Amino acid sequence: MMNVAAYLVFFLCLALIFGLVCLGLNLQWGFAGLFNVGVVGFFAVGAYAVAILCSPPAADLVGGFNLPVPLGLVAAMAASGVTALVVGIPTLRLREDYLAIATFGIAVTIQLVALNFETLTGGTHGRVSIPRPLTSLFVDRVEANLFFLAMTLAIIGAAYWALETMVRSPWGRVLRAIREDETAASSLGKNAFAYRLQAFVIGAALMGLGGGLYASFIGYVGADDALPTLTFQIWVMLIVGGSGNNKGAVLGAVAVWGLWSFSGWFMATVLPSAFAVRAGALQVILIGLVLALVLVLRPKGLIGEETVVSRGAAVP
Amino acid sequence: MTLAIWLQAILDGAVIGATISLGAIGVTLTYAILRFANFAHGEFITWGGYFALAALSAFAGWRDLSAWLGGPIGPFSFGWPLILAALTAILASAALALILDAVFFRRLRRAKIAIASVIGSFGAALVLRNLVVLGYGADPEYFSREIQIAVHFGPGLRITADQILLVGLTAALVATLHLFLTRTQMGRAMRGVRENPDLAAVSGIDVAGVIRATWAIGAALAAVAGVLIGLTIQLRPSIGFDLLLPLFSAAILGGIGSVYGAVLGGLVIGISESVAVLVIGPEYRAAISFGVLILILLVRPQGILGART
C-alpha cells in the first residue's frame, strides 16, 4: 500500500509538470489559436537552462554554477520565452500553418543541439546531478517527493490562477476575438500580431518552467527528453482534456499521463524485455488512437471551452 | 578544399534534392488543395520504402518467379524484382492514403475545425512510423547489400548508375505530372479546386474525386521517393519523419501549390544541405532546411514561384 502511495506521489509530480506545459499550450492554442508543433523544444530549453545553471561544475561541460533552483526556474522561463520570440517574430504574421512548420523546425534544431553540442548539453549522456530545491531538509525519498509535489501544486495553482485572470481580462477577450475573426479585431484597432506574440511567449515560458521543474525533479536531462513524442503527448493531453479550458488542460494531462504510464507498466509486465523497442512503439500507437477517437467522436474534449457571453446578455 | 569536392557536394545534393522534390510535390498539392500542412506525408515515403521491401522479400521467397525475373539489369544494382516491388509500393501507398482519408481525415474535414487535420496528421505520422517499428524494428534495412561501382567523370566527380536513374526518373515523373495537371480533365479539376473550392463545387467539379486524386498522387510520388532512398541510401522507420522539415521547406520555398516550385525548392534544399555539411559538419544537417525556411519566411513568404496573396 505504501508503495502505491509513493508511486502515486511520483506520478502526480510528473503529471502536474506536464499539466503546466499543457497550460502553456492551452494559452497558445486554446485561447490564441496558435499552432505550436514544437512544444518539446521550449520544454527542453527550460530543462537545459536549469541543468546548466543549477548543477555543480562538471568536467568538459560549460555551466555548473550551483545557482539556487528557483533562480534556475526563472531563467528557464526567460530562455524559453526568448526562443519563442525568435520563432514568433518571423512567423506570427503569416498563415497559421507556417507557425506550425516553423515551431516543428525549431524543435528539430533544439533536438540536434541537445544531441550534438556536447559541451553545453552533455550530448547523449545528458547532464546529471541537477538538484532539487531544499534537498538537505529531506532524507527520505518519499518525503522529498511529497515536498516536490507540494511545490509543483503551488506553482501550477499560481499559473492556473494567473491564466484564468488573464483570459477573463480584456486582454483575454481580445485574444479570443483575434482567434475567431482577425479582420474584425484588427478593424477595432487591436494589433493582432502583438497580442499573438504575447500569448506565444507567455505560453512558451510556461513550457520552459515545466521543463525546468522536470529537470530538477528527475535530476537528469538528456537528448531523449527532446524527442517529438513529447510534443505529441502534450497535444493529446490538451485535446483530450478540452482545449480552451484551463481545468481541461490539467485534467487531460493527468488522464493521458495516467494512460501512458499504465500502458507502459502493463506492457513491461506482459512482454519480454527483448520487445522493449516494440512496446514503446505500441504505447505511441495507443495514444495516437486515443487522439484519433477524441478528434472524431468528441472534438471538444472531456471539458470543452465555456461559452463566454457579456453580463446581462440573453443566452440562446 | 578543391573545386571537385564542392562540385561533388552539389551533385550529391542534387540527387538527394530530387527525392525531396518528389515528397515536396505531395506536400504542396495537399496544402493547396486540401488546405492543411500534412505532417503525415513523410510517412508515405517510409511506408513506400517498406512496402517495396516487403514485396521484394515476397518475390525472393517465390523461387520460380525470382528465376524468371533474373538478376540486376545492365549497370544498375537492381533488376525486375525491384521494379515490380516499386510498382507494388506505389499502389499500396496510394491505397494507404485513400484508406487514411476515408476513415480519418474525411471526418476531420467535416468537423470544420481547420487545424484538426493538422494535429490529426501529426498524430497519424507518429502512429504510422511506430507501426513500421512494430513490424520491422528500428534497425536499418537494405534492398541489396551489393556495393555499386561509381562512374567517374569530369574533374574527379563520381556518380552511380542508380543515382543517374533517380534524377532521370524524377524529371520524367515531374513532366508526366505537369502533362496530367494541364491536359487531363482531372488535372484541370484539381487546379480549379486549388484556385477556388466553392466555385469549383458549384461548377459541377467532383470535389471528392479531386481530393482522392490528390491523396493518391501525393502518396504515389512519396512511395517512389521512399524506394529511391532505400535503393541509394538505406531504409529506417524514421526516414519520412526526418524528411518532413526539408519537405515543408522545399514546398514553401518554391511557393505553396506550385509543382515546379516544389521541385526547385527540393533541389535548393538538397544542395544547400549537402554544401553546408562541408562547412559546418554533418551533425546539424537537419537544421539547414530550418535555416533556409526562416530565411524565406522573412524575405519572401510567398515563395519563389508563388503568387502574392
Residue B297: which of A91, A231, A291 has the nearest Cβ?
A91
Among residues A254, A245, A238, A253, the alpha carbon closest in space to that of A304 is found at A245
The reply to whether A94 touches chain B by the CB within 8 Å rule is: yes
Residue of A nearest to B288 (CA): A109
* pLDDT at residue number B147: 67
* pLDDT at residue number B63: 72
Ordered per-residue pLDDT tens for chain A, 316 residues: 678 888 999 999 999 999 999 999 999 998 998 989 999 999 999 999 999 999 888 878 888 888 999 999 999 999 999 999 988 988 888 777 788 888 999 999 999 999 998 888 888 888 888 888 877 777 777 888 899 999 999 999 999 999 999 999 999 999 988 888 888 888 888 888 999 999 999 999 999 999 999 999 999 999 889 888 899 999 999 999 988 899 999 999 999 999 999 998 888 888 887 777 788 888 889 888 888 888 888 878 888 777 766 666 665 5
Note whether A98 contacts B297, CB cutoff 8 Å.
Answer: yes
CA distance linking residue B92 with residue B86, whole number of Å: 10
Note whether B131 contacts A97, CB cutoff 8 Å.
Answer: no
Pick the more confident residue, B211 or A140.
B211
The reply to whether A20 touches chain B by the CB within 8 Å rule is: no
This model of the complex carries an ipTM of: 0.85
CA distance linking residue A283 with residue A267, whole number of Å: 9
CA distance linking residue A157 with residue A152, whole number of Å: 8
Q: Among B39, B115, B132, B295, which would you mutate to test the A interface (most chain A Cβ atoms within 10 Å of its Cβ)?
A: B115
Tell me the HSE value of B185 on the side-chain side, using a 13 A CA sphere.
5
The reply to whether B51 touches chain A by the CB within 8 Å rule is: no
The reply to whether A180 touches chain B by the CB within 8 Å rule is: no
The reply to whether A198 touches chain B by the CB within 8 Å rule is: no
Note whether B283 contacts A116, CB cutoff 8 Å.
Answer: yes
In this predicted structure, the answer to whether residue B309 has a pLDDT above a threshold of 50 is no
Q: Helix crossing, B207-232 with B161-183: angle to 10°?
A: 170
Count of C-beta atoms within a 10 Å radius of residue B170:
26
In this predicted structure, the answer to whether residue B306 has a pLDDT above a threshold of 50 is yes
Which helix (H) or strand (E) segment is B183 a member of? helix B161-183
Geometric angle at alpha carbon B121, from B115 and B124, rounded to 5°: 145
The reply to whether B113 touches chain A by the CB within 8 Å rule is: yes
The reply to whether A120 touches chain B by the CB within 8 Å rule is: no
Residues of chain A in contact with residue B30, where contact means CB-CB under 8 angstroms, are: none
Domain positions in chain A? 11-226
Which residues make Cβ contacts (< 8 Å) with residue B252, sequence separation at least 6? Answer: A98, A101, B265, B293, B296, B297, B301, B303
* pLDDT at residue number B304: 73
Tell me the HSE value of B172 on the side-chain side, using a 13 A CA sphere.
7
CA dihedral (B66, B70, B71, B72) positive or negative: negative
Residues of chain B in contact with residue A109, where contact means CB-CB under 8 angstroms, are: 284, 286-287, 290
Q: What is the separation of C-alpha B69 from the centre of its chain, rounded to a whole number of angstroms?
A: 28
Which helix (H) or strand (E) segment is B182 a member of? helix B161-183
* pLDDT at residue number A197: 95
The reply to whether B247 touches chain A by the CB within 8 Å rule is: no
Which pLDDT band holds residue B223 (cuts at 50, 70, 90)? very high
Which pLDDT band holds residue B222 (cuts at 50, 70, 90)? very high
